[in-house]
Amino acid sequence: MSAPDPSTPRSSSSSIRDRLSKAIADAVAVVAGDQGLDLVVDPSTVHLERPARREHGDWSTNIAMVTAKRAATNPRALASAVVDVLEHPLPDHVVGIELAGPGFINFRLDAGWLHEALAAVLTLGEDGYARPDIGHGEKVQVEFISANPTGPIHVGNGWWGSYGDALARILARSGHKVSREYYVNDTGGQIRTLGTSLLARTRGEDIPEGGYQGQYVTDLAAIYDGPHDVTAAGRWAADRILERIRATLASVGIVFDEWYSQASIEESGAVDETIALLDAKGLVYEQDGATWFRSEQLGDVRDRVLRKADGDATYLAGDLAYHRDKFLIRGFDRVIDVFGADHHGQVASLKAGVEALGVDPDRLEVKLGQMVSLVDGDETVKMGKRAGTAIDLDTVVADIGPDATRILSLMSSLDQAATFDLATVREQSADNPVFYVQMASARIGGVGRKAAERGIVRAPLTDVDLGLLTHPRELEVLRCLEELPEVVADAAIDRAPTKVTTWVRKLASCFHGFYHDCPILADDVDPAVTQARLWLVEASRIGLAIGLGLLGVSAPEAM
């Protein structure tokens, strides 16, 4: 059986995954050629994964199972033939290849591939490492929070702000052009209700039923000197509340590129224009004095009202005008809306409307955040706003800090209900995920300070033998660092910042193990080993800085 040409140059700058994929694709081509088959496999389509159990090797592929039918053979027979080719000669860093199950091929590698990965981390650094270009410049808008400015940001409507911001950071690092937007619902019934509540307090009266009861309304009433018009009073209050919302979000590192006014949409005539566009397509009709959208024929469960009998536009009408502006006027290639679970019923209507406007509905993604419960010991943190009993996000941030707030809110998937105990994040222990991760960063800083005190300078990377890093704890850190580009890509593709949170916690755990078992600056450590370990520490710093930066969390040098 013939083998691939061993003189074919291998790119030292490509990843081990790229080289393994090419070697596998070439081996399949050789097997196919020997059997007279015209079977070509694109290396980019070769699936490689890390086995869940280390004893199964470093990498595994199912190539035989996905190509066996085309090769007119069974998967295990094809896998065996592919292995025969791959073993003569073995690909770079491969020391053993094994068949497993119905046709998996497992690869065992020497530590050299991890040392190459370490060199890549150190060479590319914080700015260049883990930047998978999967976006290719796609223009993406992420709209999140968008809470009505009728009260301070509370835990219920601010919790998923970290998700939207972290997702925007991850997308930007993955080659997308990202804009963060907050849609300010500064018009309609809720603003008039806010104005009614404010004016009642200015007169020293009780808030009407259904009004806003919070202390913030009383505080605003004390300084209000405008007209006794509910809309004017509501907008005045909303502007002041919005200032507080901006400050609260900035305190946890969330800054928007655009604060888009709903009132500006309505006042510009964009709602009427949008309804007219739908009408021109035969998708609007009048019934019972109201204007209806034929959304059922576009996949919704029923038709929807765009303009009520009293002449007021509905939220849907405003949302469709808003999304028309996003796609057709501002030209976003993709829009990701982050809503609370209570908006579930609006998704089909919005997608139907976007499709009616001539936009591929797949370009609109709606992510729904499920209910999150915060407890403090035996006490549950309340989420409601109108009753005035909600816990402001400011209060939580002041209690546990902005970093803890962000990591806590990014520990669970957006689509899963979760409960978190604030008492845990006040503890300085391994049970506190924030403390555990940031302590790894502080230990890294401590190594640097201790080295400086002893006059130990890190030698140039080209003069250091990274091959001396062979301790299992060292290799675990390297394996974790090598995974980061894939983690960032997966987090971007799956819209799942929690994947980065999980990785950061894993790296912290690996680093703590290394720090405990592998002395770095001790007198009895070979100076050459010290140098290699100092570079491993620096790579860990780079990895933590990237990961924590994507989460919007600081990487302290001391604690």
DSSP secondary structure string for all residues of 43-73: GGG--EE--SSGGG-SEEE-HHHHHTTTTTS
Question: What is the predicted pLDDT for the residue at 382?
Answer: 53
The amino acid sitting at 552 is G
Q: Are 495 and 171 in contact (CB under 8 A)?
A: no
- Locate the domains of the chain by residue range: 16-110, 144-267+370-423, 433-551
Token readout for 375 is 């407890």
Residues whose CB is less than 8 angstroms from the CB of residue 284 and which lie 6 or more positions away in sequence, other chains included: 275, 278, 291, 292, 293, 294, 306
Pairwise CA distance, residues 293 & 283, whole Å? 6
Closest to 163 in 3D by CA, of 436, 485, 411, 373: 411
Phi (first) and psi of residue 337, to 5 degrees? -100, 130
Asked if 295 and 354 count as a contact pair (C-beta separation under 8 A), the reply is no
Q: How far apart are CA 134 and CA 489, in angstroms?
A: 7
Residue 4: per-residue pLDDT = 36
The two beta strands, 372-376 and 139-143, are unpaired
| Confidence at residue 168, expressed as pLDDT on a 0 to 100 scale | 98
Q: Distance between CA 36 and CA 49 in Å, rounded?
A: 30
Sign of CA dihedral 20, 26, 32, 34: negative
Q: Are strands 104-109 and 177-184 parallel, antiparallel or unpaired?
A: unpaired
SS (H, E, C) 296-352: HHHCCCCCEEEECCCCCECHHHHHHHHHHHHHHHCCCCEEEEEEEHHHHHHHHHHHH
The values of phi and psi at residue 105, to 5°, are -120, 120
Query: How many CA atoms within 13 Å lie on the side-chain side of 539?
Result: 36
pTM: 0.91
Taking the C-alpha atoms of residue 70 and residue 90, their distance in angstroms, rounded to an integer, is 25
The pLDDT, as a whole number, for residue 376 is 78
Residue pair 98/57 in contact by the 8 Å Cβ criterion? yes
Instruction: Map tokens 């399949």 to a residue.
Output: 28
- Rounded to a whole number of angstroms, the distance between the first and last alpha carbons of the chain is 62
Cα(283)–Cα(279) distance, rounded to whole angstroms?
5
Superfamily of segment(s) 16-110: Arginyl tRNA synthetase N-terminal domain (3.30.1360.70)
What's the CA gap between 38 and 488, in Å, rounded?
A: 36
- CA of 302: how far to CAs of 161, 186, 260, 292, 354, in Å? 31, 28, 29, 10, 16
* DSSP line for 440-493: HHHHHHHHHHHHHHTT--PPPGGGS-GGG--SHHHHHHHHHHHHHHHHHHHHHH
3-state secondary structure labels for all residues of 168-234: HHHHHHCCCEEEEEEEECCCCHHHHHHHHHHHHHHCCCCCCCCCCCCHHHHHHHCCCCCCCCHHHHH
Are 356 and 281 in contact by the 8 Å Cβ rule? The answer is yes
CA-CA distance, 40 to 422, in Å (whole number)? 56
Domain 433-551 has CATH 2.60.40.10: no
Residues 6+ positions from 62 with CB-CB distance below 8 Å? 47, 103, 104
Kindly give the confidence (pLDDT) of every residue in the chain, 559 residues in length, as a single tens digit, with 9 standing for 90 and above. 333 333 333 233 458 999 999 999 999 999 988 888 878 899 999 999 999 888 999 999 999 999 998 888 899 999 999 999 999 999 999 999 999 999 999 999 999 999 999 999 999 999 999 999 999 999 999 999 998 999 999 887 788 899 999 999 999 999 999 999 999 988 888 899 999 999 999 999 999 999 998 899 999 999 999 999 999 999 999 999 999 999 999 999 999 999 999 989 988 999 999 999 999 999 999 999 999 999 999 999 999 999 999 998 998 999 999 999 999 999 999 999 999 888 888 999 999 999 999 999 999 999 998 877 878 776 666 555 544 456 889 988 999 999 999 999 999 898 888 788 888 888 877 778 899 999 999 999 999 999 999 999 999 999 999 999 999 999 999 999 999 999 999 999 999 999 999 999 999 999 999 999 999 999 999 999 999 999 999 999 999 999 999 999 999 999 8
Say how far apart CA 524 and CA 541 lie, in whole Å.
Answer: 25
How many whole angstroms separate alpha carbon 310 and alpha carbon 290? Answer: 8
Q: How is residue 551 written in tokens?
A: 């989460």
Least Cα distance to 32 among 6, 71, 68 occurs for 71
CA atoms within 13 A on the CB side of 171: 24
Query: 20: which residues sit within 8 A by CB, 6+ positions away?
Result: 46, 48, 59, 61, 91, 94, 107
Task: Determine the residue type at 89.
Answer: P
Question: How far apart are the C-alpha atoms of 275 and 277, rounded to whole Å?
Answer: 5
What pLDDT, on a 0 to 100 scale, did the predictor assign at position 207? 93
Look at the block and give the residue holding tokens 């894939």: 486
* Same fold: 16-110 with 144-267+370-423: no
Report how far residue 542's alpha carbon sits from residue 127's, in angstroms, rounded to the nearest whole number.
Answer: 9
Task: Enumerate residues 6+ apart whose C-beta is below 8 A from 69.
Answer: none
Pick the CATH number of 144-267+370-423 from 3.30.530.20, 3.40.50.150, 1.10.260.40, 3.40.50.620: 3.40.50.620
Contact yes or no for 321/273 (Cβ under 8 A): yes
Helices (H), 71-145: 75-86, 112-128
> What is the rounded CA–CA span in Å between residue 426 and residue 501?
19
Instruction: Tell me the per-residue pLDDT of 294-323, one tens digit each, with 9 for 90 and over.
Output: 999 999 999 999 999 999 899 899 999 999
SS3 93: coil
- Degrees to nearest 5, angle at CA 104 with 102 and 107: 150
